[in-house]
Amino acid sequence: MPRAGWPVVSWRGSPATRASSGSTTPSSPASASRRSSGGPPRCETRPVALRSLQKWHGAGNDFLVDVQLYGRPSWWTSQRVRAACARTTGIGADGLIVASLGPRVQMTLFNADGSRAEMSGNGARCLAAAVRRAGGAPDEALEIDTDAGPRTVTLRMDPDSELTSGYGEVSMGEVSFVPAPEGALGAAFVGNPHVVVADDPALDDPAREALATRLAGALGGANVEFVRVESPERISMRVIERGVGWTLACGTGSCAAAAVARRAGLVGDVVEVANPGGDLRVTLDGARATLAGPVRFVANVEWLEA
């Protein structure tokens, strides 16, 4: 398979020349070109791009990770991201992360629709695990720079997993509250915007989606969490993520939901957040949040753009 920068050779032959031979066996482009010109076959080369990606998920929130020594996120256009993240025609993922290695790792995050995103708590753990697997992070603690500011990921890989599973904590920074649109329990900013809604069991998903569209629009675009409080230590949540849709988990959304619920007096400082894809733990220390949860390796993927 061609590697990044390798040429692909395409032969230039005349279909008319091939058809005029009278043979019932199709002529090769090379032989057709030789007959038409009397010389060696003409060919042209064009570069192709092949990316060696890792696929990881945190509680079902899955990402493609491109680990680069000298990262060039601009290669990943919106069209390329959409193609790679497409569930049926691509690899499939909630988002794509470029991890640019250096003294600090730069995290460039794209949603599945090709738009840029500021930060992902589950994605940060996936990035740290991918960098570790690529041999670029021997220490447990990894400093990363995101569009939402610096973050620290502390990752502990299972010793018997051959770097395929682990558990990590992410310092998520401060949670700030913003005016909530009508019908919401609250709205918060965790490096990206969130609207938290007390879930109504009577609503079906189309009704939730319509409500999410209205509430997110009031903030100019946001992730929307539908939350049920099960106890002072545990909430359950479903989320519609901006630029993706329904996902199995959201790390920043779990932090926002826990912070809004605590502000309403419904939970304490340490909250287990049950996402459809698995549980995440949020620890609130004043305005600061820490997110903890699992990370799992899915596959190495060779993505060829011809």
Mean pLDDT, consecutive 10-residue stretches, the chain (306 aa), reads 38 34 39 49 64 96 92 82 96 97 92 96 97 83 94 94 94 96 96 97 97 95 98 98 98 98 98 99 98 98 83
Q: What is the pLDDT of residue 23?
A: 37
Q: Rounded to 5 degrees, what angle do the CA atoms 127, 131, 89 make?
A: 55
Query: Residue 156 phi/psi, 5° resolution?
Result: -120, 110
Using a 10 angstrom Cβ sphere, with 0-12 exposed, 13-18 middle and 19 or more buried, the burial of residue 24 is exposed
Q: How many CB atoms lie within 10 A of CB 298?
A: 17
CATH T-level fold of 176-286: Diaminopimelate Epimerase; Chain A, domain 1 (3.10.310)
Domain 49-170+295-305 has CATH 1.10.645.10: no
Q: What is the pLDDT of residue 38?
A: 58
DSSP string, 125-154: HHHHHHHHHTTS--SSEEEEEETTEEEEEE
The closest of 273, 194, 292 to 240, measured between CA atoms, is 194
272-287 exposure pattern, b = at least 16 Cβ within 10 A, e = fewer:
bbbbebbbbbbbbeee
Q: Which residues contact 291 (CB under 8 A, 6 or more apart)?
A: 121, 169, 170, 172, 251, 252, 254, 255, 280, 281, 282
Tell me whether domains 49-170+295-305 and 176-286 share a fold.
yes
> So where are the chain's domains?
49-170+295-305, 176-286
Q: What is the pLDDT of residue 306?
A: 53
Q: What is the pLDDT of residue 287?
A: 96
- Record the pTM: 0.83
Q: What is the pLDDT of residue 25?
A: 38
Beta bridge partners of 303: 51
Positive or negative: CA dihedral 278, 276, 117, 75: positive
